[in-house]
């Protein structure tokens, strides 16, 4: 499957924990806010506003090392027509196959991409652009296992490894900004962009205002989109306005399809 994308994408996040749609602060499971008792309802809301992609995260899976909310993912897939990318606890080839079999367009690997390069290479070889990698950064180091474990790997080192393997898309998250609404790490994102001429980047973490969208969209087409969570759920950012801002910043191209 070749997922051609046009325009800078604004992608709503639907994070699932205990069967509910939630948001955390900096990945801290003790700092959780429930925004909807039913993640399917949340997904339908964003789809009704015209979202072309949704970013689905299985927080239980990220903690336990195995997807735990595939039933909810299946319900979301049946309810919406927009494209889905899914991550959280996907650490075996069988997990990837299970997720893709539900009709999900893209699977995100995080821990596996760091700890099992052979599996990552096999997955990329088999599924190509349907595999993306999470580049989760805290204080200049890559973090894994639900952001609980810090590695000695830097974003620079990781991006070079991913490029060699043939990964096409990475999702860059500054963990310290995630769920804070303090703004994205433009410097960190720009560094990743500067390292590779082939990788496409989706930015995440702290994105809250139209100005944040504008700053990121100016990096298009190397940065192809951004993931927004808490700012949308808190009403700090209007989804349709964010899409319009992105469209204007990229010279009028519509949200990615």
pLDDT digits (tens, 9 = 90+) for 183-213: 999 999 999 999 988 999 999 999 999 999 9
Q: Quote the CA–CA distance of 181 and 194 in Å, as a whole number.
A: 25
For the stretch 59-73, pLDDT in tens is 999 999 999 999 999
Sorted by where each begins, the domain ranges of the chain are 9-249
Q: Quote the CA–CA distance of 60 and 50 in Å, as a whole number.
A: 28
pLDDT at 148: 84
Catalytic residues: 15, 136
With tokens 């990475």, the residue in question is 170
Q: Quote the CA–CA distance of 133 and 168 in Å, as a whole number.
A: 9
| Rounded mean pLDDT, 95-118 | 98
pLDDT at 69: 98
Q: Quote the CA–CA distance of 186 and 206 in Å, as a whole number.
A: 10
pLDDT at 2: 45
Q: What angle do CA 246, 107, 194 make, to 5 degrees?
A: 50
Pairing of β 28-36 and β 20-25: antiparallel
Q: Quote the CA–CA distance of 65 and 226 in Å, as a whole number.
A: 25
CATH of domain 9-249: 3.20.20.70
pLDDT of 140 > 70? The answer is yes
Handedness of CA 50, 229, 55, 219 (dihedral sign): positive
**Cross-strand partners of 227:** 11, 204
**Confidence band, pLDDT 50/70/90 cuts, at residue 6:** low
Measured torsion, CA atoms of residues 101, 103, 108, 111, in degrees rounded to the nearest 10:
-30
| C-alpha 256: how far from chain center | 15
Pairing of β 200-204 and β 131-138: unpaired
């Amino acid at each position: 499957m070749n997922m051609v994308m046009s325009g800078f994408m604004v992608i709503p996040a639907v994070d699932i924990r205990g069967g509910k749609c939630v948001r955390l602060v900096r990945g801290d499971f003790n700092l959780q806010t429930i925004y909807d008792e039913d993640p399917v309802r949340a997904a339908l809301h964003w789809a009704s506003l015209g979202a072309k992609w949704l970013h689905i995260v299985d927080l239980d899976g990220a903690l336990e090392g195995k997807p735990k909310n595939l039933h909810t993912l299946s319900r979301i897939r049946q309810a919406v027509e927009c494209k889905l990318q899914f991550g959280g606890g996907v650490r075996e080839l069988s997990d990837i196959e299970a997720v893709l079999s539900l009709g999900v367009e893209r699977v995100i690997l995080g821990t596996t991409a760091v700890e099992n390069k052979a599996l990552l290479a096999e997955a990329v070889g088999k599924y190509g652009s349907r595999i993306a990698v999470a580049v989760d950064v805290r204080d200049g180091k890559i973090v894994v296992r639900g952001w609980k474990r810090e590695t000695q790997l830097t974003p620079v080192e990781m991006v070079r490894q991913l490029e060699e393997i043939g990964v096409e898309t990475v999702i860059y998250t500054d963990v310290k900004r995630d769920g804070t609404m303090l703004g994205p790490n433009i410097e960190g994102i720009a560094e990743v962009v500067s390292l590779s001429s082939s990788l496409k980047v989706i930015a995440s973490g702290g994105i809250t205002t139209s100005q944040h969208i504008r700053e990121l969209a100016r990096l298009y087409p190397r940065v192809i989109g951004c993931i927004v969570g808490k700012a949308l759920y808190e009403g700090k950012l209007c989804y349709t306005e964010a899409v319009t801002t992105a469209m204007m910043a990229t010279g009028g191209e519509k949200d990615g399809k």
